[in-house]
Structure 1
Amino acid sequence: MEGYKRWVRRNKEYVHSLESLANGLTWLLPERFSESEIVPEAVTSILGIVTAVNEHIIETTPTTPSQMAPRPLEPSSFPYTLFLTLMKDVETLVEVVAQHFLGDDNKWNFIAVTEATKVLARLALLRNSGYKMILQGGETVNDGNPTNDSNHQEDVRGGRLLNQGQNGHFTPQGRALSAMSRFGENARMVSDPTWFRRVEHHQRAIMELPETEIKRPTLSSFLSEKGIPGSLFLIGEVMFITRPLIYVLLIRKYGVKSWLPWFFSLSIDIIGMSSSMMSSTHHKDRKLPLSDPEKDELRRRKMLLALYLMRDPCFGKYTRKRLETTEKTLEHVPIIGFLTAKLIELLVGAQTRYTYMSGS
C-alpha cells in the first residue's frame, strides 16, 4: 500500500487522467448492460471508490519533514471524510441490490442501515473536529478558521467534481439520471479541478498547524464557552445529521406516499437551518463567527430544500402535473420542446431512487 501511495502521489495528474478515461469509457459499453441496474451500479461504485481513495492519498501527502517521519497512529486519525465519501459511492448500489432481491418495501431496511452508519460517522466527525460545522456531508475537511478573504472563499468552495460521474448507468438516460442525483452537491463552483482546490486547502491547513498537539474542546467546555449560540449551533448540526435517518425510518413505517415523513423531514431541515443561522446572529458579543466555507455550506443546505419538490407524495400530487403541463405547452416548439421533454423524463426517472434525491 505504501508503494501504491508513493506512485499515486508522484503521478497524480496521470492518475486523474486515467480516472476520467475510465468514467468516459462507460459511455461506450454495450447497451445490454442496461438490462440490470446492478452491474452498472457496481462498476460505477468501484470507480468511485478508487477515485475517492486516490484523492485521499493525494490530499494526505506529507509536506514537511516532521510529517514524513513515522509516528504512532492517533485515536482521532480515522479518515471520516474518506469513509463518508465511500458510503456515498456505494449507497445507490445498496438500494438497487436490496430492491432487486427483496422488493420495494424491504429495501428501506438496508437504506436505514446506510443512513444510520453515516449518522454515526458524522457525529464522530463533529466531535473529533471540535464541534465545527459539517461541510458537504462530512466529505470536506473544515479547518474552522473564520475569514472574509474572497480568495480563500474561491479556493474552498465546492466539493468533489469527480462525483458527477458516479452512481450512474450505462444507458444515456441512466447516466443523465446520475447527474441529477448530485443536484445539491453540484450547486457550487466547478470551473477548476476540485481535487486541486481540496489538496491546496488541505495542505494549507496542515502547514498552519502548530507543532504542539491541539486540544479539542469537549462538549461541556464548548457549551460553557459558546453559551446559547453554541447550543443553537449544535442543535442545528445534530438535526442536519440525523434528519435523513429519521426520514427513512418514517418512510419505512408509514410508506413513501404518506405526507408525515415528508412534512417531518422538511420541519427538521427548516428548524435545524434556522438554529444554525441564529447561532451566528444571536448577539453581537456572543455569536459564532462563520468561515466562508461554512457560509457556503448553509447556502448549499438551503438549495437542498428544492429536493422536496422531487420527493413523493409532493412529486406525485403536484410537481409531476406541473412538469407534464409544461411539456405539453412546449412540445410544438422546435428543439426547446424536445429538450424539455428529455429533461422532464430524466426528472421523473430520477425521483424513483431515494439516493438520487436524498440530499444526504
Structure 2
Amino acid sequence: MSSALARYEDFLVKNVSTISSVESTLKSITWLLPGRFKDAELASEALSALLNVTSLYHDTLLARIAQNDPKRKPILPLPLHTKYTRAWCEKDRIYKWAARIFELVRFTQLLIEMGMRRKFSEKNRWRGIVVIESIKVILRLVMLRITRRPLVSPAIPERYFDPASLPPSSIHSSPTLVPTTPPASPPATPDHLKNNHVPLQPSSLMLSPPPPGRSDSSIEDYLLPKALTTSSVRPSLQLVAPLASIQDWLAEVIYVARPLIYVSMLSTSRHKDRALLTALGIDILSRNLRRAPSCSASVEGDEYARRDRDLVWYLFRGSAWELYTRPKLESLVEKAAHVPGLSLISAVVKDWVPLIDEYYYYTAL
C-alpha cells in the first residue's frame, strides 16, 4: 500500500500542472450537471465532494514537498491566512486534525444529505442534519479552545502557490521556488544582451507626457499592496489576537452555535417560522458583541468581512426565499430566457432553483 501511495505521489509531482487543469475543469462541469438527467444533482455533488477531498490531499502533499526541500524557499511571502493556519497546524496536532475533519465534513455534508433524503424519512433526514451540525460545532469549539482566538475560514492552509506554474517534469524546477545557494557557475549572458555598448535612444513614448486624466501613480498603486506590512513580519501565531474579554468569548461562541440552533428549530415543525428570525438575530448579536479589529489585524478583519458578506445568504432561506427572493429570481430567469447569450445562464439557474427548496446545505449557515 505504501509503495502504491509513493507511486501516486510521484505521478502527482510529475504531472501536477495537468492534474490541476483537470480539477479546475471538472469543478466547472459540476455547475452544469443539475437538471441534465435523473439524479444529476447527486452525481454533481459526488463529483464535487471527490474533487474537494482530493484537492485537499494534493495541496497538503505539495506544501509538504515544498516545505521539506532544504534547497528551496518561496520567493514571495506566504498569504497571512496560510501563514496563520499553517502555524497552528504545525503547533498543535489536535487542531490540525480537528480542522481537517471539519473541512472533510463540510465537503461531504450536502452529499450525505442527498443520500439521507433518498433513504430516510423527512424526520430522520433532519435528525441526520442536526447530528452533522453538532459534529461541526464540537470541532469548532475544540479549535476555539486550543487557539483562544476568533476562528477563521477555512481552518486549514489554502493553496499558496499555483501548481499550474510547476513544470510537468519535476517540482524541483518550480518558478515559485528558488535555490537557497547560488549555482556553481554564473548563467550565460542572453544573446539580446551581449551587444549592449550602444546606448538606447529614448523612445517618443518615454519623452511625451502622459495623457491628461492618467495618473503617474499607477506603478505605486500596483506595488503598494505587495509591500511588506507590520502583519507580514509579525510572528504567525500573533496574526490574530487572543480573545480578551467575556464579551469577545460570548460573541464567538454564539456565532459557532448559531447553525446548530437554526437547524434544531427547522427540524421541529412548530418552530420553522421563527427559525430564520432567530438565526438572523443571533448573527446580528454576535456582530455587535465582537471586537473591532485594528487596522493591522488583516486576518481577523478579512474574517469578519466574510461573515458580514454571508448575511446575504439569508435571502435564500426560509420565508425570505419563498416570499421574496424566489419570485424575483424566477421572474428574472423568465425574462433572460428570451435574450440571446443569457438563455444558457437562465437555464442553469432555473435548474438550480428547485434544489434550494429541497436541500438545506445548498444555502446552509
* Band of TM-score, shorter chain: 0.5 to 0.7
Moved more, 113-122 or 42-51: 42-51
In structure 2, relative to structure 1, the CA distance for the partners of 1:38 and 1:56 (3 Å cut) is same
1:265 aligned residue = 279
The CA deviation at 1:98 is 0.5
Q: Is the 8 A contact 1:247 1:265 kept in 2?
A: yes
The CA deviation at 1:92 is 0.8
2:150 is matched by which residue type in structure 1? M
In structure 2, relative to structure 1, the CA distance for the partners of 1:49 and 1:255 (3 Å cut) is farther
- The DSSP-based 3-state class of the residue aligned with 1:78 is helix
The equivalent position to 1:133 in structure 2, one of 123, 139, 150, is 150
The CA deviation at 1:31 is 8.8
TM-score after normalising by structure 2: 0.60
The CA deviation at 1:54 is 1.4
1:238 aligned residue = 253
2:340 aligned residue = 335
In structure 2, relative to structure 1, the CA distance for the partners of 1:96 and 1:255 (3 Å cut) is farther
2: CA distance between counterparts of 1:246 and 1:126? 18
1: CA distance between counterparts of 2:28 and 2:344? 23
Moved more, 332-341 or 97-106: 332-341
Gaps of 5+ in 1: 67-71, 142-154, 157-203, 282-287
1:177 aligned residue = none
Moved more, 110-119 or 131-140: 131-140
1:17 aligned residue = 21
In structure 2, relative to structure 1, the CA distance for the partners of 1:323 and 1:73 (3 Å cut) is closer
2: CA distance between counterparts of 1:354 and 1:105? 13
Identity %: 23
The CA deviation at 1:23 is 4.3
The size of the alignment, in residue pairs, is: 271
2: CA distance between counterparts of 1:323 and 1:331? 10
The CA deviation at 1:312 is 1.6
2: CA distance between counterparts of 1:292 and 1:338? 41
In structure 2, relative to structure 1, the CA distance for the partners of 1:208 and 1:23 (3 Å cut) is same
The equivalent position to 1:295 in structure 2, one of 301, 320, 325, is 301
- The alignment yields a C-alpha RMSD, in angstroms, of 4.2
- The DSSP-based 3-state class of the residue aligned with 2:150 is coil
The CA deviation at 1:247 is 0.8
Q: Is the 8 A contact 1:246 1:265 kept in 2?
A: yes
1: CA distance between counterparts of 2:297 and 2:132? 30
The equivalent position to 1:53 in structure 2, one of 51, 57, 61, is 57
Q: Is the 8 A contact 1:9 1:57 kept in 2?
A: no
In structure 2, relative to structure 1, the CA distance for the partners of 1:92 and 1:29 (3 Å cut) is closer
What are the residue-to-residue correspondences of 1:81-120 with 2, within 5 Å?
81-120=99-138
2:144 is matched by which residue type in structure 1? L
What are the residue-to-residue correspondences of 1:275-354 with 2, within 5 Å?
275-276=289-290, 279-280=291-292, 291-326=297-332, 330=335, 334-335=339-340, 338=343, 341-342=346-347, 345-346=350-351, 348-352=353-357, 353-354=359-360
In structure 2, relative to structure 1, the CA distance for the partners of 1:61 and 1:274 (3 Å cut) is farther
2: CA distance between counterparts of 1:358 and 1:96? 14
- The DSSP-based 3-state class of the residue aligned with 1:315 is helix
What are the residue-to-residue correspondences of 1:244-259 with 2, within 5 Å?
244-254=259-269, 258-259=272-273
The CA deviation at 1:21 is 5.0
2:74 aligned residue = none
1:274 is matched by which residue type in structure 2? N
1: CA distance between counterparts of 2:309 and 2:363? 12
Q: Deviations over 1:62-92 (max 9, x none)?
A: 63689xxxxx996446333322221121101
The CA deviation at 1:246 is 1.1
1: CA distance between counterparts of 2:305 and 2:130? 27
1: CA distance between counterparts of 2:28 and 2:104? 20
The CA deviation at 1:42 is 2.9
1:190 aligned residue = none
1: CA distance between counterparts of 2:286 and 2:342? 40
2: CA distance between counterparts of 1:354 and 1:93? 11
The CA deviation at 1:58 is 2.3
- The DSSP-based 3-state class of the residue aligned with 1:358 is coil
- The DSSP-based 3-state class of the residue aligned with 1:34 is coil
Gaps of 5+ in 2: 71-89, 161-230
What are the residue-to-residue correspondences of 1:154-165 with 2, within 5 Å?
none
1: CA distance between counterparts of 2:26 and 2:329? 35
2: CA distance between counterparts of 1:29 and 1:316? 24
In structure 2, relative to structure 1, the CA distance for the partners of 1:25 and 1:113 (3 Å cut) is same
In structure 2, relative to structure 1, the CA distance for the partners of 1:241 and 1:140 (3 Å cut) is farther
2:323 is matched by which residue type in structure 1? K
Q: Is the 8 A contact 2:34 2:40 kept in 1?
A: no
2: CA distance between counterparts of 1:56 and 1:136? 17
Q: Is the 8 A contact 2:248 2:289 kept in 1?
A: yes
2: CA distance between counterparts of 1:235 and 1:57? 37
TM-score after normalising by structure 1: 0.61
